[in-house]
């Protein structure tokens, strides 16, 4: 009886992170449905909600020791829907469908690079430095596209919106398959448990900041994250060049 109860508890713990992954997948799927209906504002918010679910499921897996190979594969399959296909469909239907060839080639490039990014992560996560991501994480790319839509709605620049979206899709696609290192802000499991309240306070602070003007703040945070990775990579390369010259 005791053994059965323990197995039930263990299975529940293992399934708990997957519930958040399912929430991620649902948001991505419904974002595509909303884009097909022309509800682009809802579609953008759903992509951002999927990114939030994705952020939480990884933290929950580490807090509960519930990380499994199944969970990682399920997470990646959900990510390609929520952060690959959904942003591409949103961009295409919103402002790129009237542009011959380029209008669908660029969204496809984004999806293909997103799939390559996830495949690369799946085969190298055991050997990679947990402090950094090699290439721009696909949830950040998707959040940049979704928050970019909200930003341009707020700014009201209708004339140049196709150019903005083409630029965002191409830049994020290239960065996803690049070797640019981005800070993961992951901490050891023990540190996460000890700093639970600190993480919660920081998380709430970000939410409150974004609530001030989500259409501008979230996009600004995404752009800031992208540039800090590029600056960090430039710094490391300059450092390596001067180090070699010093030798």
pLDDT at 1: 53
Residue 169: CATH number of its domain:
1.20.120.1760
For residue 212, pLDDT beyond 90? no
Q: How many domains does the chain have?
A: 1
Query: Are 148 and 220 in contact, with CB atoms under 8 Å apart?
Result: no
Of 58 and 74, the structure prediction assigns the larger pLDDT to 74
Q: What is the pTM of this model?
A: 0.85
- Neighbouring-strand partners of residue 132: 183
Question: What value does the mean pLDDT take over residues 21-34?
Answer: 96
pLDDT at 10: 46
pLDDT at 72: 83
Phi, psi of 134 (to 5 degrees): -90, 100
Phi, psi of 239 (to 5 degrees): -60, -40
Instruction: Note down the domain range covering 195.
Output: 2-246
Confidence of residue 236 (pLDDT cuts 50, 70, 90): confident
pLDDT at 9: 39
Q: What is the DSSP string of 153-222?
A: HHHT--TTHHHHHHHHHHHHHHHHTS--EEE-----HHHHHHTHHHHHHHHHHHHHHHHH-HHHHHHHHH
Of 192 and 187, the structure prediction assigns the larger pLDDT to 187
pLDDT at 200: 64
């Amino acid at each position: 009886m005791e053994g059965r109860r323990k197995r039930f508890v263990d299975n529940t713990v293992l399934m708990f992170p997957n519930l958040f992954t399912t929430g991620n997948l649902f948001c991505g799927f419904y974002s595509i449905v909303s884009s097909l209906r022309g509800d682009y504002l809802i579609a953008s918010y759903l992509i951002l909600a999927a990114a939030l679910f994705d952020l939480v499921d990884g933290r929950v897996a580490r807090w509960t020791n519930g990380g499994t190979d199944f969970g990682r594969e399920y997470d990646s399959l959900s990510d390609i829907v929520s952060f690959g296909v959904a942003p591409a469909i949103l961009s295409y239907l919103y402002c790129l469908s009237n542009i011959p060839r380029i209008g669908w080639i660029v969204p496809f490039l984004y999806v293909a690079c997103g799939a390559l990014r996830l495949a690369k992560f799946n085969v190298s996560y055991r050997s990679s430095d947990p402090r950094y991501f090699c290439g721009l994480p696909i949830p950040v790319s998707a959040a940049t596209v979704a928050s970019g839509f909200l930003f341009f709605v707020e700014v009201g620049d209708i004339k140049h919106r196709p150019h903005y979206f083409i630029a965002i899709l191409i830049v994020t696609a290239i960065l996803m398959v690049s070797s640019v290192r981005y800070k993961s802000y992951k901490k050891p499991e023990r540190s996460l448990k000890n700093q639970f309240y600190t993480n919660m306070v920081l998380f709430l602070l970000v939410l409150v900041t974004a609530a001030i003007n989500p259409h501008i703040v979230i996009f600004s945070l995404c752009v800031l994250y992208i540039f800090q990775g590029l600056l960090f990579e430039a710094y490391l390369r300059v450092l390596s060049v001067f180090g070699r010259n010093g030798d």
